[in-house]
Chain A
Amino acid sequence: MAKGPELPARKGANTPGLSLHVPEPRFRPGDAVDFGHVDVGAPGRLSRPEESCHPRELHEHAYGLVRVLGDDNRAHGPWDPRLDADTLRAMLGHMALTRAFDERMFRGQRQGKTSFYMKCTGEEATSISAAMALAADDMVFPSYRQQGILIVRGYPLVEMINQIYSNKGDKLKGRQLPIMYSSREKSFFTISGNLATQTPQAVGWAMASAIKGDSRIAATWVGEGSTAEGDFHSACTFATVYNAPVILNVVNNQWAISSFSGFAGSERTTFAARALGYGLAGLRVDGNDALACYAAERWAANRARANAGPTLIEFFTYRAEGHSTSDDPAQYRSATEGSDWPLGDPINRLKNHLIAIGEWDEDRQAAMDREAAEKVRATTKEAEANGILGHGLHHPFRTMFEDVFEDLPWHLKEQAQQAVKEREIKWPGSLDT
C-alpha cells in the first residue's frame, strides 16, 4: 500500500475529541416498536392559508402535519376538501385496484414471469389522491412508486403488465426495467430509474409551460432519500428563481432501501421545511390521509396555476413492504413498524370514513376488492398472451438499435447486422419478428 501523508499529532489535547455522528434508526429487527416520539398533531388543527400566501406564513405547515381524517373517521378542519361521495368512492376504488395490482404483479415476479417489481403498499394516497387533485393533462414526472397515477388516469392495465413482462406487446419494446412506464398520452413522463433526475426536469417543463403562456402545470414525485441528490437542490432553486408552476412532492416513506430517513437529514428537520430556505411554499402532510393528500395537492395546484408559485409537499407516510422484489426488509428493520405506524393504512382510513358518513359498508368493500382482484387476474391472462420475460416473445433484435437516434447512423446499421446474424446462427431459419 502506498504511504499516505503523515497525519499531524493531535493538537489541543485538553479539548474533547471530535466525534462523528452516524445516524441509526430507532428500531432494528426484533426490537419492540414505539412510535411515541412521532408527533402527528391533531386533525384539523392547522389553518389553511390563502393559496397565494407568502411561503413564510407556512412555517407551522412545514414542521407540523396537515391532517383531515381523525380517529373518529370524520373529516376535520379547514383542509377538508369536501369531496362528494362518488369522488371518494372513486378514490377508494383506485386505491383498491392499485393494491390488488401490486399483489398480483409481486406474485408474478415470484413465479418467474418477470425480473422485478415494486409495490406502493401503504403509500397509495400519495399518488392517487394527489393525481386526482390535478387536471388530467397536467404533466407528471413520477419516481418509480407512483403507479397510482396511471390507475387514476385510466391507463390500460394491460399496457402496464405488458411493460412489466417486457413482452411483444410492450410499447417500450422491452427496453426498460419493469414498472418504468411512459405515457405521453396520459401526460406521464418516462420513468428514469436514476434517482431525483425527474425533479429539475419537471421544473423545466413547468418553465416551458409558463414561457408559452399555457395553463398546464407540472408535478413531480421523489422519495425522501433521493432529496439528498444535487438534482433536488437544482429543482428547488430553479423552481423558486423562475416562480415555476410546479409541485415538488416528496414521499417520505421513512426508508430508502435499508437507509432510514435520517440519512437524508430527518433527524434534524422535516423535508417540508427545506422549502422555507428556498422561499418555496412548504406543506407537510399526513400521507396516509387520502383527504389531506388531495387537499394539499389541490392547494398547490391552484397556487401554481394562478402564477402564485411552486410548492414543496412532504407526504409523511410509511413503506409498508420491501423496497422491491429484490429486497427483504426483515434484514434491517423491525417487522412490526408497519402495523404500529401511528397514521394507519390509507385504504382502511378512507373506507372507514366513507362508512362513517353512511356512504359505504363492508359488503360493498368486499365486493369491490373481489372485482379489483378479478380485473387484475383477467388482464394478467390477457397480457400473458403477449409473452412473459425470457420466453421468446420479445421484440425483434433490430429494434434494439432503433431510437438511439432519430435516424440509424452507419455504425448502428453495422452493429444491427451483426445482431441479426448472431440470431440466425442461434435460431437458424426463424424470422426475427
Chain B
Amino acid sequence: MAWESRHVSALAEVHEAATDRRLNMIEAINEALAIMLERDPDVIVMGEDVGYFGGVFRATAGLQERFGKNRVFDTPISECGIIAAAVGMGAYGLRPVPEIQFADYIYPGLDQLISEAARLRYRSAGEFIAPMTVRSPFGGGIFGGQTHSQSPEAIFTHVAGLKTVIPATPHDAKGLLIAAIEDNDPVIFFEPKRIYNGPFSGYYDKPVEPWKRHPDSAVPEGYYRVPLGKARTVREGEALTVLAYGTMVHVAEAVCRAKGVDADILDLRTLVPLDIEAIEASVRKTGRCLIVHEATRTSGFGAELSALVTERCFYHLEAPVERVTGFDTPYPHSLEWAYFPGPIRIGEAIDKILSE
C-alpha cells in the first residue's frame, strides 16, 4: 500500500460529514472558546493580554468584543494569581479557561496547580472541584530561546489529579479544547505553538506549509468533542510503532514518509489519561516502538511510555524501545535546531530499531 494512502484523517474517526472549511490551529482554538462561551454562561476566559488585544498569538481575538469584559478579560502578570483566581472561581461554580501566555511562565502558578487545583476534589471528598482548563502555548521552533520554548508536560503528568492534553491538528485542537472545558477535572492544555500556523515537518530550512493543505485542518462548524484519553492513529503500518504528540507527530510522520518506513503512528493527544489500549495494540502488532518528544530526555514522558511498553508488551518486542527527545539542556536560542529532535535524530533511531 502506498505511504500516503494509509494516513487516517481524524475527521473520519469522529465525524460522518466531511467539511471543506480549513482553519489553522489558532482559528480552531478561537472557535472552540467562542462556542463554549456561547453555550455555557459559566465559562470565562482570562489571562495576560487576552482581552482587548486578543492574546499574543491571537487565540482570543474578538472574544471580549463579542462576550463582554465580564466573560473575557485581562489579568495582572501573576500566574500564581491567575491559577488561584481560577481555583476560587471553580469553587464558586464557574468553568474558567485561564491562559498562561507561555508554558515557560507557568511555574509561578505551580503551587496553585499542584497543591490546590489538582487535589481539591480529593481533599474535600468531592465537595469542591477545579473544573478549569489552563491553555498555554508550549514547545520550541520559533526562536524563543530558553524562556519561550520549553515543553514541561512531564511536570504535570507526574501530578495526581491533573489531566494533560496536547493537540496536534486544528481539528483536534477544537474538539479536545471543548472536551477539556467541559471536563470537571483540571486540564493542562498545551498548544504546540510551532504548528499554530502549519504542520511542521522538521525540515526547518524548507518553506512553511500552511494548514489548509493538510487533511486535518478541515474543521467542522459548531460544537463537537474529541474525547480525552483516546489516541489518534495518524497512519497505519506494520514496521514499527511511533508514539508522539504535538509538533513531533508531524515531524515523525514526515521522516517516516521520507524514508518510506511503513510506520504505525499514534498521536497520543492526551498524556493523562493515556490511551494504553491503543499503545498496546499497536506495539503488539509491530513489535517495535519509537517514542518521540521535544522535551528534555531525563524523566521525560518518554520514560513513562518506555516503561509502560516494556512492562506490558515485552514478549512482543523484537527490539529495545527507543526514545528520541530534546537534549538535557535549556533550549538554546542560536542552536535551536541543534537541540530540536529533528529528522536526523529520528531517522537514526528508526534505522536502529529496524536493524535489530
A side interface size, CB within 8 A: 45
Given contact pairs A204-B87, A208-B93, A231-B84, A403 touches B116 in the complex (Cβ within 8 A)? no
The minimal Cβ–Cβ distance linking B8 to chain A, given in whole angstroms, is 23
Given contact pairs A208-B93, A404-B160, A238 touches B127 in the complex (Cβ within 8 A)? no
Q: Select the stretch in B48-56, B188-196, B211-219, B272-280 that faces chain A.
A: B272-280
By a CB distance below 8 angstroms, the chain A residues around B229 are: 409
Number of A-B contacts (CB under 8 A): 140
Interface string of A363-388 (1 = CB under 8 A from B): 00000000000000000000000000
Instruction: Please tell me if the beta carbons of A206 and B88 are within 8 angstroms of each other in the complex.
Output: yes
Distance A404 CA – B163 CA, assembled complex (angstroms) = 11
Partner of B116, one of A176, A201, A203: A201
Residue A218 at the chain B interface, CB threshold 8 Å: yes
Partner of B89, one of A189, A192, A207, A233: A207
Instruction: Please tell me if the beta carbons of B185 and A200 are within 8 angstroms of each other in the complex.
Output: no
Residue A38 at the chain B interface, CB threshold 8 Å: no
Instruction: Please tell me if the beta carbons of A189 and B81 are within 8 angstroms of each other in the complex.
Output: no
The minimal Cβ–Cβ distance linking A142 to chain B, given in whole angstroms, is 13
Instruction: Please tell me if the beta carbons of A403 and B89 are within 8 angstroms of each other in the complex.
Output: no
Instruction: Please tell me if the beta carbons of A175 and B76 are within 8 angstroms of each other in the complex.
Output: no
Distance A231 CA – B79 CA, assembled complex (angstroms) = 10
Residue A219 at the chain B interface, CB threshold 8 Å: no
Instruction: Please tell me if the beta carbons of B88 and A202 are within 8 angstroms of each other in the complex.
Output: yes
Distance A183 CA – B128 CA, assembled complex (angstroms) = 9
Instruction: Please tell me if the beta carbons of A237 and B78 are within 8 angstroms of each other in the complex.
Output: yes
Given contact pairs A189-B91, A234-B78, A405-B185, A203 touches B121 in the complex (Cβ within 8 A)? no
Residue A180 at the chain B interface, CB threshold 8 Å: yes
Instruction: Please tell me if the beta carbons of A197 and B84 are within 8 angstroms of each other in the complex.
Output: yes
Instruction: Please tell me if the beta carbons of B128 and A190 are within 8 angstroms of each other in the complex.
Output: yes
Instruction: Please tell me if the beta carbons of B89 and A204 are within 8 angstroms of each other in the complex.
Output: yes
Distance A199 CA – B85 CA, assembled complex (angstroms) = 9
Instruction: Please tell me if the beta carbons of A208 and B92 are within 8 angstroms of each other in the complex.
Output: yes
Q: Select the stretch in B57-65, B107-115, B235-243, B317-325 that faces chain A.
A: B107-115
Instruction: Please tell me if the beta carbons of B108 and A197 are within 8 angstroms of each other in the complex.
Output: no
Most buried by B among A139, A141, A212, A233: A212
Within A210-242, which residues are at the interface with B (CB < 8 Å)?
A: 211-212, 218, 230-231, 233-235, 237-238, 241
Residue A426 at the chain B interface, CB threshold 8 Å: no
Instruction: Please tell me if the beta carbons of A197 and B112 are within 8 angstroms of each other in the complex.
Output: yes
By a CB distance below 8 angstroms, the chain B residues around A172 are: 123-125
Residue B252 at the chain A interface, CB threshold 8 Å: no
By a CB distance below 8 angstroms, the chain A residues around B9 are: none
Distance A410 CA – B87 CA, assembled complex (angstroms) = 26
Given contact pairs A238-B76, A406-B184, A409-B229, A204 touches B84 in the complex (Cβ within 8 A)? yes
Residue B70 at the chain A interface, CB threshold 8 Å: yes
By a CB distance below 8 angstroms, the chain A residues around B85 are: 200-201, 203-204, 207, 238
Most buried by B among A199, A208, A411: A208
Within B57-102, which residues are at the interface with A (CB < 8 Å)?
A: 70-71, 75-76, 78, 80-81, 84-89, 91-94
By a CB distance below 8 angstroms, the chain B residues around A184 are: 124, 127-128
Distance A204 CA – B128 CA, assembled complex (angstroms) = 14
Instruction: Please tell me if the beta carbons of B127 and A410 are within 8 angstroms of each other in the complex.
Output: no
By a CB distance below 8 angstroms, the chain B residues around A173 are: 125
Distance A176 CA – B115 CA, assembled complex (angstroms) = 13
Partner of A211, one of B70, B126, B274: B70
CB-based nearest B residue for A246: B88
By a CB distance below 8 angstroms, the chain A residues around B274 are: 410-411
Distance A235 CA – B129 CA, assembled complex (angstroms) = 20
Q: List 20 A-B contacts (CB under 8 A).
A: A139-B92, A172-B124, A175-B125, A182-B127, A190-B127, A197-B112, A197-B115, A197-B116, A201-B85, A203-B84, A204-B89, A231-B80, A234-B76, A238-B75, A403-B126, A404-B121, A405-B185, A406-B184, A409-B229, A411-B273
B residues near A (Cβ < 8 Å) are 44, 70-71, 75-76, 78, 80-81, 84-89, 91-94, 108, 111-112, 115-116, 120-129, 160-161, 163, 183-185, 229, 272-274, 276
- Please give me the 10 A-B residue pairs with the lowest Cβ-Cβ distance, nearest first: A204-B88, A204-B85, A234-B81, A200-B84, A208-B92, A205-B88, A190-B124, A201-B88, A409-B273, A184-B127
Given contacts A180-B123, A197-B115, could you give 11 more A-B pairs where the C-beta distance is less than 8 Å? A176-B123, A182-B123, A194-B111, A197-B111, A200-B88, A203-B85, A211-B70, A212-B94, A231-B111, A237-B78, A410-B273
